[in-house]
Amino acid sequence: MPARAPTAILLFLGALILLAAVPLVLSGWILFLLTVAGAKALAVLGVVLLLRGKLLTFGHALYYAVGAYAAGMAVKYFGVREALLLLALALLAGVAMSAFLGLLVARYRAVYFALLNLAFSMVLYGMLLKLYSITGGTDGLGIPEPTLAGFELGGSSLRLAMYELTVVLTAVLVYLTYRFFASPTGYTLRAIRDNEVRVEYMGVSVWRAVYVSYVIAGGLAAVSGCLIALSVGHITPDLSFWSQSGEFVFVAILGGTGSMLAPVIGSVLFEFVRNYAFELSPYTWQMTLGIILLLIIFFLPGGVWSLTALVVRRGSR
């Protein structure tokens, strides 16, 4: 990748402009679908980042819900309506939460890491359900239409603005995560994947790399949750449920962990497939996911992204 970096950046910018221009051609539900996909891609990006360090989490929806509810609470109790402020608050809440839980979780690997996260996310789920007076229980919280940078936008112009905001924010965060992954800490994460003990023998702190990555992944998921809250306009405790975390893992594996762009591709693909598969047969949705996941594990371990590598290789030949 580094050798072709200029090409990659050009491609990236091209894709960005193309995506930003999508509303000129398409509208309505496809735009909404893409907004949701772009927003969720950020949570998946966090999962992918951790997976690069061989860390599988089944509780990443925890931070997704923290972001969404941080926004929801700010709206309900402090009357904050500015989208950018809400996003900043969500990021802060997500980072604070992951920085706190990370103190415990970052000490664990493999099974423990996966299930500690799952346990914490289910605790949050239970609390969101039970603290009815604060969180609205199963009814959740409604989020009124926000203002964007001070502008009162309503209806379709707000949806358009949310789409553009999501595209820009996702692009920026994908790029920053890519930069993080190319940083010394990012390289440590790669080395951890190969052999953690040897990394420590080199005198590099494994714990620090894992902790930092965990906090970043938490922040990404919180921004993702807030974007979803703002676009959908309603949040429920289900945001923290295990099936949501499972979905993030699924999309991460579907897209592949080969690139920081893979989560975006995986996420868009997932939202479209879900849109059709769910209408076709709602009762076999999870089964469909399970079967696809099995197929990927056995036949396409690199995810959909590895197909692009195939195309590139063939093209350069």
Partner 1 sequence: MRLLLVVALDGLTYASWLFLVSAGLTFTYGVLRVLNLAHGNLYALGAYLGATLVLRYAATGYTPALAYGLLFVAAVVVGLVVGPLIERVFLRRVYSRDEEVQLLLTFSISLILEDVVKLTWGVNPVFAEMPYSYLGRVRLGGINYAWYPFLLTAIALAVGGLLWLVVTRTRLGKVLASVIADREVSLTLGINVPRVYTWAFAAGAVLAALGGALTAPMFSLAPGVGAEVLVTSFAVIAIGGLGSIGGAALGSLIVGLARSAAVYFFPELDLFAIYLIMALVLLFRPQGLFGEIEVRRI
Residues at the site binding partner 1, with contacts judged by CB under 8 A: 51, 54-56, 58, 104, 107-108, 110-112, 114-116, 118-120, 122-123, 126-127, 130-131, 195, 197-198, 201, 242-243, 246, 249, 253, 283-287, 289-291, 293-294, 297-298, 301
Q: Choose between 11 and 123: whose C-beta lies nearer to partner 1.
A: 123
What torsion do the CA atoms of 194, 199, 202, 206 make, to the nearest 10 degrees? Answer: 160
- Count CA atoms within 13 Å of residue 43 on its CB side: 36
Minimum distance from residue 62 beta carbon to partner 1 (Å): 12
* Shortest Å distance, C-beta 83 to partner 1: 33
> How many other CB atoms are there within 10 angstroms of residue 225's CB atom?
33
Closer CB to partner 1, residue 29 or residue 298?
Answer: 298
CB of 3 to partner 1, least distance (A): 28
Q: How far apart are CA 246 and CA 250, in angstroms?
A: 6
Nearer to partner 1, 13 or 131 (CB): 131
User: 20 or 115, CB closer to partner 1?
Assistant: 115
> Which residue from 93, 114, 92 is spatially nearest to 252, judged by alpha carbons?
114
Residue 38 Cβ, how far from partner 1 at the closest point, in Å? 25
Q: Give the C-alpha separation, 8 to 13, whole Å.
A: 9
Instruction: Give CA–CA dist 223/136, Å, rounded.
Output: 21
**By C-beta, is 198 or 234 nearer to partner 1?**
198
Please state, in angstroms and as integers, the Cα–Cα distance from residue 28 to each residue in 87, 156, 237, 268, 291, following that order: 24, 8, 27, 16, 31
Minimum CB–partner distance for residue 129 and partner 1 (Å): 10
DSSP 82: B
